[in-house]
Structure 1
Amino acid sequence: MDYLGLLMELIFLAFGIYLYLFSIGRVQAGDPESRKKAEAFRQRNAWWMRIGALAIIAIMVVNLYLHFLQLSGK
Structure 2
Amino acid sequence: MCTVVLLRRPGHRWPLLLAANRDERIDRPWDPPARHWPDREDVTAGRDQEAGGTWLGINDHGGVAAILNRS
TM value normalised by structure 2 = 0.21
Structure of greater Rg:
1
RCO higher in structure (CA 8 A, sep ≥6): 1
Instruction: Give the structure with the higher percent helix.
Output: 1
